[in-house]
Amino acid sequence: MSGLILHEYGRSGNCYKIRLTAAHVGIELERREYDIMKGETRTPEYLRDVNPNGRIPVLEDGDRFLPESNAICFYLANGTKLIPDGHFDQADMLRWMFWEQYNHEPNIATMRFWLRNVGLDALTDAQRMQIKGKRDAGLAALDLMDNHLDSRKWFVADQFSLADICLFAYTHVADEAEFDLEAYPSIVRWMERIMTMEEHVSLDD
């Protein structure tokens, strides 16, 4: 695989998980940055040529464009050791990736975006009304992860997989959404295992 272009906003955990996957499988990505705060992914050109859904990340591979972060990770890792063997373990890995997008990202990542990028004072009333619900759901997500990791090194099949990468992306910056990770010792140990791997790259790399 070569000539791949990642259309991204570098600080997004959804974009970072793709770069982390690429680092683990040894794929080089050309990076193209968009300022989402200036609406650069909502222009008529972006909607027509890159993603009709108006979001990053998108992977460009020749004349094809692939949106959705976890689908892009699956594409880059298909056929590598980041995806376990066996139908049950593959599905269990996807289970955690779907859970990440439904139960984790809309709470922890959205809170981080609201606090860091938008700012509390600039939130709409409808957004402000959701803060308590997102806070509670984010805490429940971290609880569930910590309990799962109490007796396991990795999320699925006793091996490092895309499930770990996709969950690591927003978990390791959950403090930026004002979640206190020190309350989750199994998560902290799991993050340390990931961050000390030889292939690891950080969000700021």
Which residues of this protein are in contact with its own copies, per CB under 8 A?
52-53, 61, 64, 66-72, 74-75, 78-79, 87-88, 90-92, 94-95, 97-99, 101-103, 105-106, 125-126, 129-130, 132-133, 144, 147-148
Minimum distance of its own copies from residue 177's CB (angstroms): 18
Q: Kindly tell me which of 127 and 200 has the beta carbon lying closer to its own copies.
A: 127
Among candidate residues 28, 70, 26, 68, the one with its CA nearest the CA of residue 162: 70
Q: Kindly tell me which of 68 and 176 has the beta carbon lying closer to its own copies.
A: 68
Which residues are bridge partners to 33 per DSSP?
8
Minimum distance of its own copies from residue 79's CB (angstroms): 7
Minimum distance of its own copies from residue 130's CB (angstroms): 6
Among candidate residues 189, 127, 182, 132, the one with its CA nearest the CA of residue 164: 189
Minimum distance of its own copies from residue 102's CB (angstroms): 5
Q: Kindly tell me which of 125 and 198 has the beta carbon lying closer to its own copies.
A: 125
**Sheet of strand 64-67, all strands in order from the earlier edge strand to the far edge:** 29-33, 4-8, 58-61, 64-67
**Gyration radius (Cα) of the chain, Å:** 17
What the block records as the tokens of 118 is 């938008």
Q: Kindly tell me which of 140 and 197 has the beta carbon lying closer to its own copies.
A: 140
Minimum distance of its own copies from residue 110's CB (angstroms): 11
Q: Kindly tell me which of 130 and 173 has the beta carbon lying closer to its own copies.
A: 130
82 near 116, Cβ under 8 Å? no
